[in-house]
Structure 1
Amino acid sequence: MTLAARDLRWDAGGRIIVDGVTLAAAPGRMLGLVGPNGSGKSSLLRLLCGLRQVKSGVVILDGTDISGLSRRAVARRIAVVEQHAGTLARVTVEDVVRLGRTPRRGALSPWTEADEAAVASALARVGLGTRRDQPWETLSGGERQRAQIARALAQEPSELVLDEPTNHLDVRHQLDMLALVRGLGVTSIVALHDLNLAALFCDEVAVLAGGRLLRSGPPETVLTAGMIAEVFGVRAEVRLSALSGRPHIEYRLD
């Protein structure tokens, strides 16, 4: 076990957002969070990486309560890619990715060859190696998302938390991005809207609704027609794909 939640609860304005969630991300595997809008996915991710303080329950990182760790110590392990990361500053792609090195460096530490290599590797892995000098404001939404993932990779994390990383990406880049994350060999927790992407890439899927964890497990046992009807209110047929051997969902319009 690397990153886990035990009976996690969080509320805002008197409304329960995350309600008694217990789950664990297996080492080196991808855990997908799915659920309707407002189900608590983004809030749960922010609790897991220490960006919000839990009201009750505990987040565990390698057997240690995350509340007892410094923000810097957590950032050395967990990299976060949020939905709407951006900046108004006049910076380049490389400037943004360099920020990923902050947890690895002291306040007065000089920039090193190791820092430079980590940034170059991260840019190359997301296909932005030739765009490092491009101004941030000239990037498309999808390019900005890839740059933010490169920033997270430059952090050299062992756990990666991503909130809707495929937003603003076309189909090819959605597939490339999730294949990249899956191939990193790090523990990853990713919130997704697209159930077919979750089925194709995630080792396990956790379904949230109303802040509660309804079920979790391998995609083939979780992503069923009954669950989709119950949670999303949509009729669907689920078959194993002949190409991937994974569940494929076809939605019914009648």
Structure 2
Amino acid sequence: MTLATHDVRWGAGGRMIVDGVTLDVAPNRVLGLIGPNGSGKSSLLRLLCRLRRVASGVVSLDSRDIADLPRHELAKRLAFVEQQATTEVQLTVCDVVRLGRTPHRAAFASWSAEDERAVDAALARVGLSERHDQLWHTLSGGERQRVHIARALAQEPRELILDEPTNHLDIRHQLSILALVRRLRLTCVIALHDLNLASLFCDEIAVLHEGRLVAAGMPASVLTPERIARVFGIAVEIRCDEAGHRHIAYVMDHEPGT
């Protein structure tokens, strides 16, 4: 395993938010992190990136405690895509993606052909090469999210962490972003709200509830009606189509508005 946590804990305001999580992320696979609001998903992702320091336990990268890794070395290996990022500065698409090259450049170093190659390659991977010089503010929500992923790819990481990258996007852009993430063939950890999208696009799923890991494994074994009812407090039925794709259907015990 390249990225792992062992008995990780972190809290704030006198409350334990991530409580003893042990988790292994398989190389070049997509791990979906799901759970109700307040279950600790975003906090765990930030611990994986060392944006927060664990209170106890270990986050490891290639069996090395990330607390011992120099910041620039960690940034060359691991990239983080936030839910939303915005700016009032008049930036172009390439300006944003170039920020991903920061870990690879010495202080006051001039922009190199290698840097430009990495930016161009990142934009090509997300299908936005033609938007290279377009202003950031003129992009759609889905295009902005692709640019954020391109910025992360310009770091040339082996591990990619994404915090609800489909939040506030319409269904077409949600499907497009998740299909893109799956095509990257990186080690990915992605927090998601939609259980059907998690089941469709993730190789494995980890379920958090009240800061604790309650299940991890293949979607079919993790996303059962009993576990969904226990963690999310909703009744569901699992249906399969002719292609074998599972669909989680929510069961209402009364008509809306009654």
TM-score category of the 2 structures, normalised to the smaller one? over 0.9
Partner secondary structure for residue 18 of structure 1: strand
Corresponding position of 1:250: 249
Distance between the aligned counterparts of 1:247 and 1:236, measured in 2? 12
Q: Aligned runs of 1:74-113 on 2, under 5 Å?
A: 74-113=74-113
The TM-score, its normalising length taken from structure 1, stands at 0.96
Instruction: Find the residue that maps to 2:180 and give its secondary structure.
Output: helix
Equivalent residue pairs, number: 253
- Matched residue type, 2:48: L
In 1, the alpha carbon distance for the partners of 2:181 and 2:109 equals 30
2:221 alignment partner in structure 1: 221
Distance 1:14 1:3 in 2: 28
SS at 2:248 equivalent:
strand
| 4+ residue runs over 3 A deviation | none
- The CA deviation at 1:141 is 2.5
1:56 has 2:56 as partner = yes
The separation in 2 between residues aligned to 1:48 and 1:63, in whole angstroms, is 13
Secondary structure in 1 matching 2:102: helix
SS of equivalent residue, structure 2 residue 175: helix
Unaligned runs of 5+ in 1: none
Q: Which structure 2 residues correspond to residues 1-254 of structure 1 after superposition, within 5 A?
A: 1-243=1-243, 245-254=244-253
Q: Is the 8 A contact 2:142 2:177 kept in 1?
A: no
Contact 1:142 1:167 in 2 (8 A): no
Deviates more, 1:192-201 or 1:171-180: 171-180
Paired letter, 1:192: L
Whole-angstrom distance in 2 between the partners of 1:222 and 1:242: 21
Q: In 2, distance between residues paired with 1:236 and 1:10? A: 32
Q: Determine the C-alpha separation between the residues in 1 that align with 2:35 and 2:153.
A: 26
Letter of the aligned partner of 2:248 in structure 1? Answer: I
Cα separation, 1, equivalents of 2:233 and 2:219: 19
What secondary structure, in the 3-state scheme, does the structure 1 residue paired with 2:46 have? helix
Worse-superposed segment, 132-141 or 32-41: 132-141
Question: Secondary structure at 2:4's aligned position in 1?
Answer: strand
3-state SS in 2 of match to 1:24: strand
Percent pairwise identity: 65
Give the partner amino acid of 2:252: L
TM-superposed deviation, 1:24: 0.9
Q: Which runs of 5+ in 2 are unaligned?
A: 254-258
| CA RMSD in angstroms, aligned pairs only | 1.2
2:242 and 2:76 map into 1 onto residues whose CA distance is 41
Q: Secondary structure at the match of 1:86?
A: coil
AA at the equivalent of 1:96: V
- In 1, distance between residues paired with 2:227 and 2:113? 50
Q: Deviations over 1:113-165 (max 9, x none)?
A: 22112111211222222112122222232222111111011111100000001
Q: Which amino acid aligns with 1:110?
A: S
Q: What is the SS of the residue equivalent to 2:38?
A: coil
SS in 2 for 1:84: coil
